Copies of this chain bind each other. A is one copy, B any other.
Amino acid sequence: MQTVYGQMSDEQLDRVIEQLRDQADQVRSRGLTLDMTRGKPSPEQVAISLPLLDTVDATTDLHDEGIDCGNYGCFEGIPSARRLAGELLGVPSDQTLVLGSSSLLIEYETINMFWLRGTCAHAPWEAYAASHSGRPPRILCPVPGYDRHFAITEELGIENVPIAMTDDGPDMDEVERLAATDDSVKGIWCVPKHSNPSGVTFSKRSVQRLATMRTAAADFRILWDNAYAVHDLYPDCEPLANIFDIAGAAGTQDRVVAFGSTSKITFPGSGIAFVAASRRVLDDISRALKVALISADKMNQLRHVRFLPTLADIRAHMARHAAYLRPRFELVESKLAAGLGASGCATWTHPRGGYFVSFDGPDRTARRVVALCRDLGVRLTPAGATWPGGRDPRDANIRIAPSYPSLEELSDALDVFVLAVKLVAAEQEAAARAESRESPSEAERPSLRKN
């Protein structure tokens, strides 16, 4: 990437760096404490769900279609909640389980089950290495991606294999090649709609290719974390193709395991979470989970279905969320465009939903930008977090999470971010010039031998 700093004379560059450092000193003296680390809705945004807390009180009938939500039982979730989860994930309700408050925990438990017990009568994933000269099973990880996904598979000893993201979803040529030729490739992590952090929604063609591609592993699983299924910023967002319908038609229905929750619909951390799969895979998951769980919190399921009985109600509610998020995302776009658009220093995504903007600066700058921002009072997701093992080979990608701060705070935080990107890029250019003066390349170096 040729940056604006690369085109400056040494004197110009020194002057710009001096100016940027002065600006940084001024920011530092303000003692800011701003946080853009995580995809958390702002307090005002969370408040739109407060009426949920009034749906169940001491006078409420605690039954849902005959199920007493106030006592043990109904492991699979209450009927109304399963119907809602089915609508959200695109399956009949009997292909869902509605469990506790965390979809991440269900993902962990599901993969733990694949690891320890296997799925659909296939060998446990943990047995793969022993029968294949110690080669661990592998999971494809579209990058930049979600750090917590990568941590789950890494924790079990699965090898995370980075796959580039395109505007249509993961690089499907590479996914198909690896899945078809390498039977250690047991699955792929996906956030198919408004992907974390790129904002990409997988194209219909990508969904079709994922659902129908040849896989060397018979127990290949698409880990379909549809976390942002209804999290559109604009009313005309591209819909996500229904992967269950495509897989069902292709006879690959056991390949897809989908997850979701209401954490960013109602209360983060206090929502209801669910999983959808073929009956066969769902039976695997149920059998394993029933060892550890009598039944989940049905009272919270009841609150949710009383507050948001149908998918239409959820969509109306999400439009109210979008009213808080849209100006924040538009502020990111305008601040980055104004501050860095002509710098040649940066590219970033223009998401139409979800919670993140994915930013790419010059190579070997992301860690320093994040460190400088922190020094200036703005906390960002650690650089590298969007890559397996926290290792972004280019050290270029930063996840911007604009949802939590107020617009005013966000504006300040983005100014700091833009300043930090500029300063680090300019300093990198200066350092490169200094280095090339001290150790010129072979071509430029006077030949000492000939003397």
Contacts and interface: CB of A to CB of B under 8 A. Distances in A.
Interface string A257-287: 0000001000111100000000000000000
B112 A297 contact: no
Nearest to A108: B292
A116 B156 contact: yes
A53 B58 contact: yes
Given A57-B57, A148-B291, A291-B148, A72 B300 contact: no
A152 B292 contact: yes
B267 A70 contact: yes
B68 A58 contact: no
A155 B288 CA distance: 8
B46 A291 contact: no
B53 A268 contact: no
B293 A105 contact: yes
- Counting chain B CB atoms within 10 Å of each CB, the highest count among A56, A112, A269 belongs to A269
A323 interface: no
Nearest to A155: B291
Determine how many copies of this chain the complex contains. Answer: 2
Given A112-B112, A148-B291, A268-B71, A100 B43 contact: no
A312 to B, nearest CB: 22
Given A70-B268, A101-B296, A148-B291, 4 more contacts: A43-B71, A54-B57, A104-B293, A105-B293
Task: State the 9 A-B residue pairs at the shortest beta-carbon distance, nearest first.
Answer: A108-B292, A270-B299, A50-B58, A72-B268, A269-B295, A101-B297, A270-B297, A54-B58, A105-B292
Interface of A: 38, 40-41, 43, 46, 50-54, 56-58, 60, 68-73, 100-102, 104-105, 107-109, 112, 116, 148, 151-152, 155-156, 263, 267-270, 288, 291-300
B298 A270 contact: yes
A288 B151 CA distance: 10
24 contacts: A41-B71, A46-B71, A50-B58, A51-B58, A53-B56, A54-B58, A69-B270, A70-B270, A72-B268, A72-B269, A100-B100, A100-B101, A100-B105, A101-B297, A102-B293, A102-B294, A104-B293, A108-B293, A112-B112, A116-B156, A148-B291, A270-B298, A270-B300, A300-B300
Contacts of A107: 292
A4 to B, nearest CB: 38
A54 B292 CA distance: 30
Contacts of A155: 288, 291
Contacts of A71: 40-41, 43, 46, 267-269
B291 A108 contact: yes
A260 to B, nearest CB: 15
Contacts of A293: 102, 104-105, 108
Contacts of A292: 102, 104-105, 107-109, 152
A56 to B, nearest CB: 6
A267 B299 CA distance: 9
